Amino acid sequence: MKIPFLKKKRTYQLVKEDTSKIFEKKAMELNDIIAPSSITISSDNLKLGKMFAKSFFIFSYPRYLSTGWFSPIINLDDPMDISIFVHPIETGTILKQLRRRVTEVQAEISERQEKGLIRDPVLQTAYQDLETLRDRLQTAQERMFKLGIYLTTYGKSEQELKNIENTLRSMLESRLIYIKPALYQQREGFNSCAPYGLDQLQVHTSMNTGPLSSVFPFASFDLSSNEGILYGINRHNNSLILFDRFSLENANSILFAKSGSGKSYAVKLEVLRSLMIGVDVIILDPENEYEFLSDAVGGSFFNISLGSANHINPFDLPTPRKDEKPSDILRSNIINLVGLIRVMLGGLTPEEDSIMDQALTETYAAKDITIKSDPSTWKENVPLMEDLEAILNTMEGTDSLVRRLRKFTKGTFSEFFNQKTNISTDNPLIVFGIRDMEDELRPIAMFIVMRYIWNKIRSELKKRILVVDEAWWIMQSEDGASFLYGMAKRARKYWLGVTTITQDVGDFMKSEYGKPIITNSSLQILLKQSPATIDLVKKTFNLTEEEKYLLLEAEVGEGIFFAGQKHVAIKVVASYTEDQIITTDPEQVLKIKKAKEESI
């Protein structure tokens, strides 16, 4: 009876000991968390959990390699690991091998000559290359290395791996560079591409210093040219970003940045430097930020407000050029005026829209401005807003239009909207400041000023830049946004570059014309962005994750500069004199003004 009891007790003790050992095991580590659930090794790929991986090596190169040939592979959107192994070779050993190889090639050439065979260009070229390499190695101008380049691609299926392989082959074979999958060596290939520094594939190609340097993958774009202005410093390589915006398919640019990131500073610097090379600049300034710059360079600053002495007549017409039809000018102006009045009156019904179109035509006709009249007489007979009201009073069903229009002809707004134009735009720098205009009238004022500027631009073909600051104001109305888009689309024909600036990217993109304005701007500058809008900016400009964080962490005056297909990280830099002219820091502006007053 005791024996079973002893057995049971002994069994209990064993179980107890085993149970205690379970709790002595190490806790789960990071390796256990990140490791795939399973690994399957095949002849031509690996299966890591649900993902597939395939490793390749480059085994053949052409005689010449161009700089940056590897950059397209680095910049592929497909996930990929790349390892580049460079093993130095002793120069003395290579010289001995080259001497033997030169002797063999020279002997073969001599043998062909003795047999009377024609010259073999391949042998001659090989002999010349060997001799040149020997000379450069002997004088320490070159060194020899063994190069191994391995790539591991990833996909969700074997077909996806095949598609990536076809892409790699087409990109490399177009440069006479050939790759092979690491058959039956996929594990070695995967380890060679992992960050262990292990070269387990050992597939090498001998290469001297010159062609080896072309493999360096991190080639940055260079935006230096012989013409244009200095925009800033290339943060990739500290080179100068010298560029002529008029050399692109269009000279339009857009600048997006949060408040205080240096966008006005960057634009002022571009304006100042453009003036120095003979480019005229017109600025639409909602906050009167450019007044100090205008005074410094002798420009013309026009304060646009209800109490200002500067007036613009919305009915002004451009002088037709020789290649333009007066009828097209008049018709286009009436269409734009309908859009302006739609904004002024808070919208028009379809019936009112038709009535307004007819009323405007009759208003011009009453002043002898028709498609048949002499365009040279148009300037003398331009109607006013009160003339439109008089025409509307003679038409049926216009009571509502007349009542709404009356505040612009006889009411509080008449001092600005019912006056003849009394400003001149002959100066190389023209600034229209609308800070003092009431908020509800600011979009209308911007619309009127833009129409006036557009008429001047169409009248005379000249290299100009138009800066529209805080463009979201004009984008608030569909007609204003449409007009700005029309200017950006047609600017190239009139040698004009439209610069659109805004800090409210979200409001700008809400308009159906926001995205087209961006796509019609070949020059794009992004400075520091707000976390609230960075995802929208990333999607709009197709940014990478690194570029996204670059814009979030950028200092004042830093960002990304896009010119056509090229883009670089930029830092805007000004000289001391330029900084004194264009600064927007209130404290610095006050110091400069105080210094001027003391000097006087």
Q: What are the tens digits of pLDDT across the range 2-25?
A: 444 444 444 444 445 555 555 555
Please give the residue that has the higher pLDDT: either 47 or 328: 47
Q: What angle do CA 293, 294, 296 make, to 5 degrees?
A: 65
Region at 391 (left for phi over 0; alpha for psi -120 to 50; beta for the rest): alpha
Place of tokens 């814009």: 551
Q: For residue range 471-493, list pLDDT tens digits in order.
A: 888 887 787 888 888 888 888 88
Q: Is the pLDDT of residue 458 over 60?
A: yes
Cα–Cα distances in Å, from 406 out to 312, 341, 385, 390, 411? 18, 12, 9, 10, 6
pLDDT band of 544, cuts 50, 70, 90? confident
Q: Which two tokens stand for residue 67?
A: 């700089």
Q: Cα separation of 151 and 76, whole Å?
A: 12
Q: What angle do CA 581, 468, 222 make, to 5 degrees?
A: 70
CB 208 within 8 A of CB 548: no
**Contacting residues for 475 by C-beta, under 8 A, at least 6 apart:** 481, 484, 502, 507, 508, 510, 511, 513, 514
Mean pLDDT of the chain: 84
Helix (H) or strand (E) segment spanning residue 205:
strand 205-208
> Bridge-partner residues for 179, per DSSP?
58
Q: Cα separation of 296 and 283, whole Å?
A: 15
CB 508 within 8 A of CB 520: no
pLDDT at res. 559: 92
Q: Cα separation of 198 and 191, whole Å?
A: 7
Q: Helix (H, G, I), strand (E, B), or coil: what is residue 253? A: strand
**Contacting residues for 570 by C-beta, under 8 A, at least 6 apart:** 231, 232, 233, 234, 235, 241, 525, 558, 559, 560, 561
Q: Cα separation of 452 and 257, whole Å?
A: 28
Is the pTM higher than 0.85? The answer reads: no
Average pLDDT rounded to a whole number, residues 121-134: 81
Q: Is 106 exposed, middle or buried (0-12, 13-18, 19+ CB in 10 A)?
A: middle
Q: For residue range 348-361, list pLDDT tens digits in order.
A: 888 988 999 899 99
Average pLDDT rounded to a whole number, residues 159-177: 92
pLDDT at res. 600: 60
Q: Cα separation of 263 and 269, whole Å?
A: 10
β-strands 144-155, 80-88: how paired? antiparallel
